Amino acid sequence: MDDGDPPACMDGLSVTGCERCPALVESRTRIVDGTGPADADLLFVGEGPGANEDEQGEPFVGRSGSVLDDGLREVGLDRADVRITNCVRCRPPENRDPHAEELGNCRTYLDAEIQRVDPELIITLGKVPSEHLLGRDVAVTSEAGDIADATVADTIRPVLISVHPAATLYDRSQEATFTDTLDKAAEYAGDGGQSTLGSF
Ligand code: URA
């Protein structure tokens, strides 16, 4: 394979055999693709797999995942109804933030997934995905709940900024912010969500 060619991502969803980031290839057990329906209305984007995700091969299955699952249920959604993915698909060593180059290397796959799913709304979980997709500095705590239009995967799309689920574990005051943001996301999610239209 030519170094410049992205490895296979034929269906826009699953990646095989990528070795573009030497440090991540070294630290990962496996590539962690997104999960959930390929036609989901909502696409949640996290930072990158942690230890649990690396072990189980699925995004958000550790403590952050429990917070996300609980939050989704609270606003009338289920994990099975939404798509969940990450900016990078391989676990960074010692859970460090992905480097800019690694984010760039994996962007082809994230964009392919966004194009394939073509969600009504993208929800960025935390600072790294928010800044990565909006292409600017984001003060997540104060901007959480805001929806910004951004050109993502060649199309202008609404992006809802959220605090990372883990932030609620360290700072209980973030819980309401997180739930309110998910509630806003649910309004986009058709019948499965708590669209205010449904009450009329
Ligand atoms: N945190 C993330 O950003 N992504 C995961 O998949 C798990 C934890």
- Where along the chain do its domains lie? 10-189
State residue 4's pLDDT score. Answer: 52
pLDDT of residue 186: 96
> What's the pLDDT score for residue 188?
85
Distance 89 CA to ligand 1 centre (A): 10
Check: CB of residue 110 under 8 Å from CB of residue 6. Answer: no
pLDDT at 191 over 50: no
pLDDT digits (tens, 9 = 90+) for 20-64: 999 999 999 999 999 999 999 999 999 999 999 999 999 999 999
Give the number of the atom of ligand 1 that is nearest the alpha carbon of residue 32. Answer: 6
Residue 53 near ligand 1, beta carbon < 6 Å: yes
In angstroms, the CA 109 to CA 32 distance is 12
Provide the CATH topology of domain 10-189: Uracil-DNA Glycosylase, subunit E (3.40.470)
pLDDT at 177 over 70: yes
Pick from 29, 35, 43, 53 the residue to mutate for probing ligand 1's pocket: most ligand atoms within 8 Å of its CB.
Answer: 53
First to last CA, the chain: 57
Q: Whole-angstrom Cα distance, residue 9 to residue 93?
A: 24
Q: What is the pLDDT of residue 19?
A: 97
Is-contact 160 75, C-beta < 8 A?
no
Scan for tokens 């410049």, then name that residue. 4
Mean pLDDT over the full length of the chain: 92
